[in-house]
Amino acid sequence: AQSVTQLDSQVPVFEEAPVELRCNYSSSVSVYLFWYVQYPNQGLQLLLKYLSGSTLVKGINGFEAEFNKSQTSFHLRKPSVHISDTAEYFCAVSETGGYNKLIFGAGTRLAVHP
Amino acid sequence: DGGITQSPKYLFRKEGQNVTLSCEQNLNHDAMYWYRQDPGQGLRLIYYSQIVNDFQKGDIAEGYSVSREKKESFPLTVTSAQKNPTAFYLCASSVSGSQETQYFGPGTRLLVL
């Protein structure tokens, strides 16, 4: 079975500062990795995903994430955040070859302050 | 505009009442999903359907039921057996395959009177 741990429930940061949201996963099989963003009272939107190939994945809104197989991590980064990045961010995994069941972490609330 | 619609946005349930949440997609996706979101717990899978007229239980199916009579529709019924139904419910759809992106609706917030 897979599990996902997001190490920080809340991350406060000032506007234009860099940010890293941490995600670790556990799985006995190969997985695909996803980051989704949720703005208040809305559904989720895909930021980026890792399927194979280059371990550095670039997504929308200037976000990127790096897959580290040895550390079973998939941390999300942005070099300079904006007020509009304030949202909840979810890391998720799905088993390769499976039916697309996503296992989500508990989420990290990013609060960007002016 | 292609997308997923959920209705209503807010829903109130009385004690002992069944309520049905609507989910419709016009993305021509085969697979559809229902998730429950509680504060600090992420999303948990209730039911999923990979094809019309077929669906499977997820991790927290007790007290819920679904149907998939049409490709574009996947309604969720919260029955009176669900003792703690207050939550944010999210519907999603995707092309079949575990590498595929799931697309989410705007959600329905269910409150108990």
Amino acid at A75: H
Please say if the pLDDT value at position B68 is more than 70: yes
| pLDDT tens-digit readout, A13-27 | 999 999 999 999 999
- Scan residues 5-64 of B and list those with Cβ closer than 8 Å to A: 31, 40-45, 48, 50, 58
What residues in A contact B104, CB-CB < 8 Å? 36, 43-45
Mean pLDDT of A93-99: 83
pLDDT at B59: 93
| pLDDT tens-digit readout, B80-113 | 989 899 999 999 999 988 788 999 999 999 998 8
Mean pLDDT of B66-76: 98
Note the Cα B18 to chain centre separation in Å.
15
**Which of A8, A91, A102 to mutate against chain B (most B CBs within 10 Å)?**
A102
Long-range pairs of A41-44 with CB within 8 A, sequence gap ≥ 24:
A41/B106, A41/B107, A41/B109, A42/B106, A42/B107, A43/B4, A43/B90, A43/B92, A43/B104, A43/B105, A43/B106, A43/B107, A44/A90, A44/B43, A44/B90, A44/B92, A44/B102, A44/B104
| pLDDT tens-digit readout, A59-76 | 999 999 999 999 999 999
Instruction: List the beta strands (DSSP E) in chain B.
Output: 4-7, 10-13, 19-25, 31-37, 43-51, 54-57, 64-66, 76-78, 87-94, 103-104, 108-112
Amino acid at A74: F
How many CB pairs below 8 Å do chains A and B form together? 68
Q: What percent of chain B has pLDDT over 90?
A: 81
Out of A94, A101, A106, name the one closest to residue B40 (CB).
A106
The answer to whether the CB atoms of B98 and A43 lie below 8 A apart is: no
Please say if the pLDDT value at position B78 is more than 70: yes
